[in-house]
Amino acid sequence: DTGVSQDPRHKITKRGQNVTFRCDPISEHNRLYWYRQTLGQGPEFLTYFQNEAQLEKSRLLSDRFSAERPKGSFSTLEIQRTEQGDSAMYLCASSLGENTEAFFGQGTRLTVV
């Protein structure tokens, strides 16, 4: 399968723990996006990369969140000191460049207990 891949698909963690998610975009896609989706809502934009450069961050991305794309290929999203409000589906998408369709992964569902 050559689509966007996210790992893990599900994560349960205790409040206060750190978690890290991984996204592998479609090969040669230079743009990569992270979204958060809570139950019954549409996805909300968090941040995006062009190659390894993080070009934009939403105000939703608090100081406890950090995203990286060190070699311009896969990306990681880390949440430090998780809170129950962080429970959501975290979606990753990638696109080839300007004015091109974004392809979404199936997401990582995070549950903070």
Partner 1 sequence: GNSVTQMEGPVTLSEEAFLTINCTYTATGYPSLFWYVQYPGEGLQLLLKATKADDKGSNKGFEATYRKETTSFHLEKGSVQVSDSAVYFCALNAGGTSYGKLTFGQGTILTVHP
Binding segment for partner 1 (CB under 8 A), chosen from 16-24, 62-70, 72-80, 97-105, is: 97-105
27 touching partner 1, by CB under 8 A = no
CA 13 to chain centre: 17
Rounded alpha-carbon distances, angstroms, from residue 24 to 6, 16, 52: 6, 26, 13
Beta carbon of residue 36, minimum distance to partner 1 (angstroms, whole number)? 11
- Residue 43 preceded by cis peptide, ω within 30: no
- Interstrand relation of 65-68 and 75-79 (parallel, antiparallel or unpaired): antiparallel
Query: Can you tell me which residue has the tokens 């608090």?
Result: 62
Q: Residue 63 or residue 98: which is nearer to partner 1 going by CB?
A: 98
Binding segment for partner 1 (CB under 8 A), chosen from 12-20, 69-77, 78-86, 104-112, is: 104-112
Residues binding partner 1 (CB under 8 A): 3-4, 31, 33, 40-45, 48, 56, 91, 93-95, 98-107
